[in-house]
């Protein structure tokens, strides 16, 4: 199991370096729980998970009419195993060991497929975020963000006009072990404001004192 955790951590680090927001579960029971309570763009699912295996999770998610793309990972490379996974509702199949570049290419392909029926551009006022290219522009000017700044802005834009608490931000942008009582979130909000709002008349990121933040066109 230690090797599997190392693989999961390797994938997590790699995807975060590519500006994706990532949650990780080390057993199938927790994985199913996370998949049911969060609206993910993609699920990477290992077949050989403890407690509940990946095939069972895939079958259950599809039974519940969840259409999130699923990429199956497995050490099994038999045709029968691939067919079984695809028949249960998986969208793609990758056998271990694999090159991270191939995993990344398959992730991009599945996300492109999903976005054919859904706009990939998030837009608030004159601020635009492209979820496929990860480019951010305001008033047509491209803005360079770090991976964490991008993840924070994307989360705010996905929840535009809604107050998001520091706890919500810590769970979705950082990880479950993050101490939400530190000032790291406030620091990153300041970084974002310096890039997104500082040189523009209309301020988009607003503080809700004692609660959190909201991204919207007007503060009133």
Q: What is the pLDDT of residues 36-45, one digit of tens each?
A: 888 788 999 9
Q: Is residue 220 part of a domain?
A: no
Q: Which residues of the chain have pLDDT under 50?
A: 1-2, 220
Q: Which of 115, 147, 168 is the endpoint of a domain?
A: 115
Residues 83, 162: one domain?
Answer: no
pLDDT (0 to 100) of residue 128? 94
Which residues does 24 contact at the CB level (< 8 Å), separation at least 6? Answer: 8, 9, 12, 175
Q: Which pLDDT score, from 0 to 100, does residue 210 have?
A: 84
- Considering the domain architecture, whether residues 6 and 111 belong to the same structural domain is answered as yes
Q: Are residues 176 and 82 in the same domain?
A: no
Residue 2 has a pLDDT of 44
Q: Are residues 132 and 96 both part of a single domain?
A: no
- The answer to whether residue 88 is domain-embedded is yes
Please check whether residue 16 lies inside any domain of the structure: yes
For residue 65, is it within any domain?
Answer: yes
- Asked, for residue 81, whether it belongs to a domain, the answer is yes
Q: Based on the fold, state whether residues 32 and 104 are members of the same structural domain.
A: yes
Q: Let me know whether 105 and 150 are in one domain.
A: no
Residue 38 sits in the same domain as residue 111: yes
Q: Which of 115, 134, 161 is the last residue of a domain?
A: 115
Residue-range definition of the domain harbouring residue 181 = 121-215
pLDDT at 177: 57
Do 81 and 131 share a domain, yes or no?
A: no
- How far is Cα 144 from Cα 213, in angstroms, rounded to an integer? 22
Per-residue confidence (pLDDT) for residue 1, from 0 to 100: 40
User: Are 85 and 143 members of one domain?
Assistant: no
> Which secondary-structure segment (H or E) carries 111?
helix 100-115
CATH value at residue 127: 1.10.10.10
Q: Which residue, 115, 134, 156, sits at the end of a domain?
A: 115
Query: Which pLDDT tens digit goes with each residue over 65-74?
Result: 888 899 998 8
How much is the pLDDT for 36?
87
The token pair that represents 25 in the structure block = 């579960």
Q: What ranges in 2-99 are assigned the alpha helix state H?
A: 2-17, 28-37, 54-63, 79-87
Say if residue 152 is in the same domain as residue 172: yes
Q: Give the total number of structural domains in the chain.
A: 2
Q: What is the CATH classification number for the domain harbouring 94? A: 3.40.50.2300
Report yes or no: 77 and 94 within 8 Å, Cβ to Cβ: no
Residues 137 and 194 in one domain: yes
Mark whether 106 and 125 lie in a shared domain: no
């Amino acid at each position: 199991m230690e090797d599997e955790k190392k693989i999961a951590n390797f994938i997590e680090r790699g995807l975060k370096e590519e500006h994706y927001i990532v949650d990780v579960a080390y057993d199938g029971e927790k994985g199913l729980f996370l998949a049911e309570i969060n609206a993910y763009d993609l699920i990477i699912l290992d077949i050989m998970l403890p407690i509940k295996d990946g095939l069972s999770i895939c079958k259950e998610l599809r039974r519940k009419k969840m259409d999130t793309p699923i990429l199956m990972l497995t050490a099994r490379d038999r045709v029968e195993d691939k067919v079984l996974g695809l028949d249960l509702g998986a969208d793609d199949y990758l056998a271990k060991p694999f090159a991270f570049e191939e995993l990344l290419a398959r992730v991009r392909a599945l996300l492109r497929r999903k976005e054919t029926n859904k706009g990939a551009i998030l837009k608030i006022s004159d601020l635009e975020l492209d979820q496929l290219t990860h480019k951010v522009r305001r008033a047509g000017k491209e803005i360079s963000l770090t991976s964490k700044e991008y993840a924070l802005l994307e989360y705010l834009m996905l929840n535009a006009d809604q107050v998001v608490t520091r706890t919500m931000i810590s769970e979705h942008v950082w990880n479950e072990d993050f101490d939400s009582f530190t000032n790291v979130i406030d620091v990153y909000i300041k970084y974002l404001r310096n890039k997104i709002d500082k040189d523009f008349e209309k301020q988009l990121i607003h503080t809700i004192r004692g609660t959190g933040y909201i991204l919207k066109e007007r503060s009133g």
